[in-house]
Structure 1
Amino acid sequence: MIFMSQPSQHEPRPYTPGARLSGVRPSHYRGRGRGRGPRRRGRLPVIAAAAAVTAALAAGCSDSGTAARTSVPQVPAQQMIGATEGQLNLINWAGYAENGTTDKTVDWVTPFTRATGCKVNSKIADTSDSMVALMKTGKFDGVSASGDASLRLIYGGDVAPVNTSLLTNYPDIADYLKEQPYNSVNGQMYGVPHGYGANYLMYNREEVPQPPTSWNVVFEKNSPVAGNITVYDSPIYIADAALYLKTHRPDLKITDPYALSEDQFEAAVDLLRQQRPNISQFWHAYGDSVQAFTVKDTHAGTTWQVIANLAKAQKAPVETVLPVEGATGWSDTWMISSRAKNPNCMYRWMNWITTAKVQAQVAQWFGQAAANPKACRYTAKGFCAEYKVGDAAFYKKIAFWKTPVTNCGDDRGNTCVDYSRWSQAWAEIKG
């Protein structure tokens, strides 16, 4: 999923890369857990979960029943938007539902409430696992799920299909974000795309004077930055290793870094075990990554564009690159609960949050590409070019996060390693 900038809700201020978190205290930085955050990704105060939610979180991470399920529960899609219910209960990444509290000039929630009568109650989650656990309680109407959570929610019956004909801005959403394996099943959308970004390779140019072109700088045992590597702290990071092996171990025949056979999965895990001694930082709070690069504790690793901007603003000698192997990435989707008590407000929210002006506000504040390219009419100069908004060719190089399930999505059938196994392996890798 993360990202705090400072545009006015009325007119965008001049866009200066790296300036977007200048008014936010470092203690407020959080990652996507997907931790886009981006995750985010930032992600503001961490959830203080009650015992029941903690138990649900454990189930969200390791429930093999949900992870291994091969059919989607039959949940009907809403057919019309009726009278609004007066309130809306959301789970979202910090920065996705701003009401002027963090920055009085950043507020797209209050105008929404005025326009619809729906009072927004926002619950911040700092990881995708937290989002899954909270959605299982049935207390929330919708969630801004990242791809490493969405299929768990779909196969778990926690979210309903979305009737996109009820979403007036849906035709404006970039086509390459629609009907993707992380937000749909069998051509049925389970939400509306919101924002997205790539997981770049960032490096300290003083420590790595020759710009790297491959992820080998972080994965090879004898890396010149061994001992000073930073990686994203989530089981979904296993896909980064699989994506690297897709190019460098063609004998494994990896086609999808999120749909791994036993042999492919073990190869990716082995690569991460090899990498482990060279890692100096696991991060999901992106402010931690900014700080590590700024004080030069880390020399290379996974990053988001907003982290690079912030580090550069603090005079860190860093650069980013999209390596030859491509990269993983995140694409967030607003999804409606299958038990939503305020479904009409939720549909109105999905319409509101995808309007061009609101998309521009969120993208600049959060530090991500807007799902609706028309947002570029309202963003500051240079923003959309930096975040590659609407650039289908660029994002074809990105393997967006997708929940690993047993259904491989091809002729291998239900033989792939599911998310519960990814979670177990990640815990063992970290030690």
Structure 2
Amino acid sequence: MIRKLLFLLAPFFLNAQGYTSYFTGNTTNITTNPEFGVCLMGGATEHDEAMKWLLQKANGGDVFVLRSSGSNGYNNYLYSQLGITVNSVETLVITSVAGATNPYVLDKVANAEMIWFAGGDQWNYVSYFKNNALEDLLNHHINVKNAPIGGTSAGMAILGGKYFNAQNGSVTSSQAMNNPYHPNVTLGYDDFLTVPFLEDVITDTHYDNPDRRGRQSTFIARFKNDFNFEVKGVAANEYVAICIDENGKARVFGEYPAYQEYAFFVQANCSNPNDIETIQSGSPLTWNYGGQALKVYKVPGTMTGDHFFDLSNWQSGSNSGGTWEHWSVNNGVFASVAGTPVDCSLATNNFDISNFQVVPNPMSKSFSVNGISFAQISLFDMQGRLVLQKQITNQEIIETNQLLSGIYTIQIKEGNKIQTKKLSKK
């Protein structure tokens, strides 16, 4: 077969239909066998070694860049400048729901071996991509195709199961800590993208410019207070990348020690009591717990990404190269001190179901829940409608022949403890 190779075609303008395409490479689509991988970048210049890591997982296939503003800045970079062979790179600048659901866009995303979200405004991504056919294809790409995906800045912000959607614009650490219910603290959860190891995570970017440790701490406090969610935080300084493999190993890329470039893995201190002392509208946040409200593993990023955090086991995983810190907020003022590793031995017998497993996921005709004794499960479709509810025991088989293919939210309730995860049906 003779394949026509075109380098940086003129942009294909379809603004009336809500998108613009910029194409580089081979116009004949090919199908390869991509490998799972997630790359989160802090928002400044991409880290070349991290991008190579992600590109390799496309196994020579077609790469698609999704963005809501800008143009073709990624095309040559991903196609020819990193030395990783791919069939093509196409940037789709999507400016409306109509563009996101255009048949051309859906076809291209369906055939992608790798997807990259550029920076910009995450509210545009939420507004244009959520609750439609594009969202379904993105989740299929991640959870059924097991293909690589990543993003920077706003593109990283939307990859957590819990997320700051910026509906009313950005918010500073000072604003958030001095009023946890500031109108700009707008949060979403369990209703958009489902990325393995990030279901109960909220991400943050540009972490060092400006300092966003306080606002992410506030986001985590809000989820804990409002929904009883034990949400974790994953964050990156501007020039840092976090690459997550199929086992949940999160390697950190940067230029440390030449620069102070770190990733942060944040969780509430599991020792009880760890109640939030003051969290209410119009008042400064106090989440102190003796200066140890949050346990944080701070990982320097290197050119080879040899330091890492284990996202599959937050409490006792095999981590490398980082140091522990304790974070707290007292009357709207953030504090960080040297800390100690997570130790849940002091925790009371409050049952923790945050580590329950739904298997298989994606499912086909049935699934079971491991890690519970006796619980109520509720299954909701993407429109929030209850489609299944029953009491189950550990590893009991739940038949799902009556359910359509798609993404669901499963809620597990044991006593007064509730946790949720995303569940995909083939």
TM over 0.5: no
Q: Give the number of the structure whose residues are more often helix, by fraction.
A: 1
- TM-score normalised according to structure 2 size: 0.25
Comparing both chains, which one has the higher relative contact order based on Cα–Cα distances under 8 Å and sequence gaps of 6 or more? 1
Structure with max Cα Rg? 2
Q: Give the number of the structure whose residues are more often strand, by fraction.
A: 2
